[in-house]
Amino acid sequence: PFENGVAKNILFKEIGEKQFKNILYLGDPIAAASIAQVHLAKVLIEGKEIEVAIKILRPDIEKIFNEELDALMLFAYIVESTIKKTKRLKLVEVVHLLREITNVEMDLRFEAAAANELYENTKNDNGFKVPKIYWSYTSKKVLTLDQVKGVSIREQEILEKKGVSLKVIAENLIQHFLRQAVRDGFFHGDMHQGNLFVDDSGNIVPVDFGIMGRLDKNNRKYLAEILYGFIQR
> Which residues participate in catalysis according to the annotation?
190
CB atoms within 10 A of CB 205: 20
Dist. CA 211–CA 208, nearest whole Å:
8
* Element of type H or E holding 186: strand 186-188
CB atoms within 10 A of CB 219: 13
DSSP states along 113-180: HHHHHHHHHHTTSTTB-PPPB-GGG--SSEEEEEPP-EEETT-HHHHHHTT--HHHHHHHHHHHHHII
Could you tell me if 37 and 1 are in contact, meaning their C-beta atoms sit under 8 angstroms apart?
Answer: yes
For 121-132, b/e burial (b = at least 16 CB within 10 A) is bbeebebbbbbe
Could you tell me if 154 and 216 are in contact, meaning their C-beta atoms sit under 8 angstroms apart?
Answer: no
Amino acid at residue number 34? S
